[in-house]
Chains A and B, each alone.
Chain A
Amino acid sequence: MIYRETGQFKSSYESDQALFPIKQDRYVILGVLIVTFGVVPGLLNEYWLNAILLPFLIYALAALGLNILTGYCGQVSLGTGGFMAVGAFSVYKLMIAFPELGFIPLVLLSGVITAAVGALFGLPSLRIKGFYLAVATLAAQFFLIWLFNKVGWFFNYNASGMINSPPMTVFGVIITGPEGDMTGKYYLVATFVALFALVAKNLARGRIGRNWMAIRDMDIAAELIGVRPLIAKLSAFAVSSFYIGMAGALYFAVWLGSAEPTEAFDINQSFLVLFMIIIGGLGSVLGSFLGAGFMVLMPILLKNIMVDGFGTDAALAAHIEIITVGVLIIGFLIVEPHGLARLWRIAKEKMRLWPFPH
């Protein structure tokens, strides 16, 4: 069919090593980018941008981060909520202390802070693996939330322990705070996500990514062929936390506007992001997006179909929604344990061979 690489000859090493070696893939990515940046903001109203697309993009960034750690490097983490909180509280403190630096550098900086914290909590991964590591990261989750809830300095001694994002601008457009421009917010987050998805894709296929995957597939063998577990594991923790920290910063400052640690970053957050990458596909950039889309959009879609479409009682709809999402998760995992990204890969392979499947 149209998806076929026949006739696309590679005449140089560069073209052979390109990020998307198949021409059709490049067109699709280009198309997605054009739609994302050119069409969507003009087409959709505030409800779609704020309630659906912003959380989708932000969760996609967090899922990308966790996928680097869990999908590529094989280290199970349940600390995502805690690391997102580190990003959020860093950006909050930085916005109060150094507003003159500008919002984008502050988000990057809070990612760096989170990376340091993540690397610190990654240290146990050198000695423990699998479920035991999951428990260690769970400790990080609870410790960090407790810390942000307990120590007044983090929330500027606010009486209720909540943090509020002060208004900040990017290129003259107000991005954070209540007066934030919806389209501006969308552009900012979409740019962050697109850029760092590209970075992740590049990282994953380069030397660092291959080190991570070697560790994931068999750490003793990897060590024997010269991969240093200390560097590989800690870099995975750091890079992953960098992504998650930025996601947390955007989640708090751009999307929510105010947050309290115990609710916005609780353990459910960690599970949600973990579900995203399991459903989307471990070790796949595309999978992070598909998983985030599934977990963010599906409940809202179901709710809108039931309540607005069929006039179902709101509470009944909420119960049906919980059941349906659960059933869908189990169903997907039975049908395709490698996630939605794997479905896409199979579809691609089928299309390449079509119409001669044998």
Chain B
Amino acid sequence: MNIAKLTRQAVLALLAMPLLSGVATAYELTIPSLDYRTGPYAPNGIPFANGYGDYLHMLNERDGGINGSKINLVACETAYNTKRGVECYENTKGEGESGALVYQPLSTGITYQLIPKSSVDRIPVFSMGYGRTSAANGKVFPWVFNFPATYWDQATVFIRYIGEKEGGMDKLKGKKIALVYHNSAYGKEPIRTLEKAAEQYGFEFLQLPVDHPGQEQKSTWLQVRQERPDWVLMWGWGVMNQVAIKEAASIRYPMDHFIGVWWSGSENDVLPAGDAAHGYLSGAFHQPGGNFPAHDDIRKYVYDKGMGLGERDRIGEVLYNRGLVAAMWTSEAIRKAMEIHKTNKIKGVHVRDGFEALDVDEARLTELGLPGFTIPVKITCENHEGPGKVALQQWDAKAQKWSLVSGFYEPLRDITAPLIAEDSAQYAKENGVVPRICG
């Protein structure tokens, strides 16, 4: 191809950019995927995006899409950067005949940007277990869904787990619990909950911020060494996780007293620390491992045809499965929306109804080839956070794999519920939202 031709094509492509929509013949379901395969958080973003995309491609190949309508996955690179995320949103929201059906923003910053936009553009936001916790209140945030559990649920579950290990919640009195957190909106989320819990159970709560991107944590861990907290919790992401685990290992902090949020518990985070990471804990709401029937289908229908987004042997990594479970709930919500509105030609506004009627129980999970993979989820008009249950998983450095070591705990709702009510009321006030009436 010569330069002139290339330029001509480029110019044509550019001119056609806003007009590209509407060429598809059959009705396609547009699902944008805001990936971040570049930048400091790429090691975590890549497996998630692969799991998300592979599952949806598998549906296309195996079932011909959802109820016979093909899925058009539109990838857009955000580099975990809010401004680029917004650009991606604006660029993809009108894509195809259906328009974007649902967004999975994948960063707290982008989620906060999309929350107000979602109600204007009438496209639901599915911030699965992240983003704004008080979006759990469906009355104030009708367009945002953050099931299966929020950061606040998770923080209280950790406190419950610690209480259990210490021999009862009353034993928490006088203990010292530290939080090592990413110094951003995301990392600050659990602070208020933990402060409340500290008040209630009488433990001492220590805050240790780590600045973006988190490669330098010597001083943080020196503080841990001086203060000797009984337990360390971590809200980290990207390179910060592995550095923290290495630093913890270097001060010989007991790994089984070190609990990460569910974004701090993937293979990427623990492998660099080698054997020293053995016993490290993290939150989880789904199983690790790649041996579920759905994984086999992905291998058979996607990877055998050479369409896989990632590497075959990384199927089943923790973050891959997280992407997969996000895709599963998303496709189920779309299916539900088609059922409710009795048409395949749905738009974002209908998918929201699908999310609100979502009910994926164990029987349905088995049908989907994911038996026991995650907790049953049932969403209602007022409850957008679903069950809120969280389990803990532990890293086995010898076998090099994660496994769940606890059942699913109920969160301490007496702590989280008032906080959610308070925070969502503040949002409603600041932004002039009138809470809707449910049921």
CA distance A90 to B83 in the complex (A): 21
A167 lies within 8 A of B432 (CB): yes
A17 lies within 8 A of chain B by Cβ: no
Nearest CB on A from B335, distance (A): 26
Partner of B189, one of A159, A309, A314: A159
A263 lies within 8 A of B14 (CB): no
Nearest CB on B from A331, distance (A): 17
Instruction: Name the residue in B10, B18, B77, B191 with the highest tally of chain A Cβ atoms < 10 Å from its Cβ.
Output: B77
A315 lies within 8 A of B38 (CB): yes
* Across-interface contacts of B76 in A (CB, < 8 A): 307, 314
A305 lies within 8 A of chain B by Cβ: yes
A46-B90, A179-B120, A314-B75 given; A256·B113 CB < 8 A:
yes
CA distance A51 to B86 in the complex (A): 7
* Across-interface contacts of A256 in B (CB, < 8 A): 82-83, 86, 113
CA distance A262 to B35 in the complex (A): 21
Interface size, chain A (Cβ < 8 Å) = 44
* Across-interface contacts of A166 in B (CB, < 8 A): 430-432
Partner of A314, one of B37, B186, B423: B37
- Interface 9-mer from A5-13, A29-37, A282-290, A316-324: A316-324
* Across-interface contacts of A317 in B (CB, < 8 A): 77
CA distance A305 to B13 in the complex (A): 6
B185 lies within 8 A of chain A by Cβ: yes
B91 lies within 8 A of A47 (CB): yes
B75 lies within 8 A of A309 (CB): no
B38 lies within 8 A of A159 (CB): no
Q: In chain B between 83 and 125, which residues have their CB closer than 8 angstroms to a CB of chain A?
A: 83, 86-87, 90-91, 94, 108-109, 112-113, 116-117, 119-120
Q: In chain A between 294 and 333, which residues have their CB closer than 8 angstroms to a CB of chain B?
A: 300-301, 303-305, 307-310, 313-315, 317-319, 322
B108 lies within 8 A of A262 (CB): no
Q: In chain A between 167 and 192, which residues have their CB closer than 8 angstroms to a CB of chain B?
A: 167, 177-179
* Across-interface contacts of B133 in A (CB, < 8 A): 159
A81 lies within 8 A of chain B by Cβ: no
B185 lies within 8 A of A161 (CB): yes
CA distance A266 to B219 in the complex (A): 22
B87 to A, closest residue via Cβ: A51
B183 lies within 8 A of A177 (CB): no
A47 lies within 8 A of B90 (CB): yes
* Across-interface contacts of A46 in B (CB, < 8 A): 90
* Across-interface contacts of A319 in B (CB, < 8 A): 38
Nearest CB on A from B352, distance (A): 16
CA distance A46 to B93 in the complex (A): 11
* Across-interface contacts of A262 in B (CB, < 8 A): 183-184, 211-212
* Contact flags A256-267 to B (C-beta < 8 A → 1, else 0): 111110111010
Nearest CB on B from A318, distance (A): 4
A318 lies within 8 A of B38 (CB): yes
B421 lies within 8 A of chain A by Cβ: no
B173 lies within 8 A of chain A by Cβ: no
A50-B90, A51-B91, A256-B113 given; A161·B188 CB < 8 A:
yes
B225 lies within 8 A of chain A by Cβ: no
Nearest CB on B from A102, distance (A): 17
CA distance A262 to B108 in the complex (A): 13
A315 to B, closest residue via Cβ: B37
CA distance A248 to B430 in the complex (A): 21
* Across-interface contacts of A164 in B (CB, < 8 A): 112, 116, 427, 430-431
A45 lies within 8 A of chain B by Cβ: yes
CA distance A322 to B113 in the complex (A): 24
B422 to A, closest residue via Cβ: A159
CA distance A262 to B75 in the complex (A): 26
A149 lies within 8 A of B183 (CB): yes
Q: In chain B between 4 and 30, which residues have their CB closer than 8 angstroms to a CB of chain A?
A: 9-10, 12-14, 16-18, 20
* Contact flags A131-165 to B (C-beta < 8 A → 1, else 0): 00000000000000000010000000001111010
Partner of A178, one of B82, B108, B119: B119
A161-B188, A315-B38, A319-B38 given; A178·B117 CB < 8 A:
yes
* Across-interface contacts of A310 in B (CB, < 8 A): 9, 13
* Across-interface contacts of B116 in A (CB, < 8 A): 164, 177-178, 257-258
B13 lies within 8 A of A309 (CB): yes
Q: In chain B between 407 and 439, which residues have their CB closer than 8 angstroms to a CB of chain A?
A: 423, 427, 430-432
* Across-interface contacts of B336 in A (CB, < 8 A): none
A65 lies within 8 A of chain B by Cβ: no
CA distance A266 to B81 in the complex (A): 12
B192 lies within 8 A of chain A by Cβ: yes
A266 lies within 8 A of B432 (CB): no
CA distance A308 to B76 in the complex (A): 10
Q: In chain B between 322 and 374, which residues have their CB closer than 8 angstroms to a CB of chain A?
A: none
B390 lies within 8 A of chain A by Cβ: no
CA distance A127 to B191 in the complex (A): 43
Partner of B18, one of A45, A149, A159: A45
A55 lies within 8 A of chain B by Cβ: yes
* Across-interface contacts of B12 in A (CB, < 8 A): 309
Nearest CB on A from B187, distance (A): 9
* Across-interface contacts of B281 in A (CB, < 8 A): none
Q: In chain B between 167 and 189, which residues have their CB closer than 8 angstroms to a CB of chain A?
A: 183-186, 188-189
Nearest CB on A from B315, distance (A): 19
B9 lies within 8 A of A309 (CB): yes
* Across-interface contacts of A301 in B (CB, < 8 A): 14
* Across-interface contacts of A51 in B (CB, < 8 A): 86-87, 90-91
CA distance A260 to B82 in the complex (A): 10
* Across-interface contacts of A260 in B (CB, < 8 A): 109, 112, 184-185
CA distance A50 to B18 in the complex (A): 14
Q: Could you list 27 A-B pairs, sorted by A, with CB under 8 Å?
A: A47-B90, A47-B91, A51-B86, A51-B91, A160-B132, A164-B427, A164-B430, A166-B430, A177-B431, A178-B116, A178-B117, A256-B83, A257-B116, A258-B112, A258-B116, A259-B82, A262-B184, A263-B109, A304-B14, A304-B91, A308-B13, A310-B13, A314-B35, A314-B76, A315-B37, A318-B38, A318-B79
User: Which residues of chain A have a CB within 8 Å of any CB of chain B?
Assistant: 45-48, 50-51, 55, 96, 149, 159-162, 164, 166-167, 177-179, 256-260, 262-264, 266, 300-301, 303-305, 307-310, 313-315, 317-319, 322
Excluding A96-B430, A304-B17, 13 further A-B contacts by CB distance (< 8 Å) are: A50-B90, A159-B133, A159-B188, A159-B189, A159-B192, A160-B188, A177-B116, A178-B431, A257-B117, A259-B82, A264-B83, A317-B77, A318-B79
Can you list the 4 inter-chain pairs with the closest CB atoms, starting with the nearest?
Answer: A309-B13, A178-B116, A315-B37, A160-B185
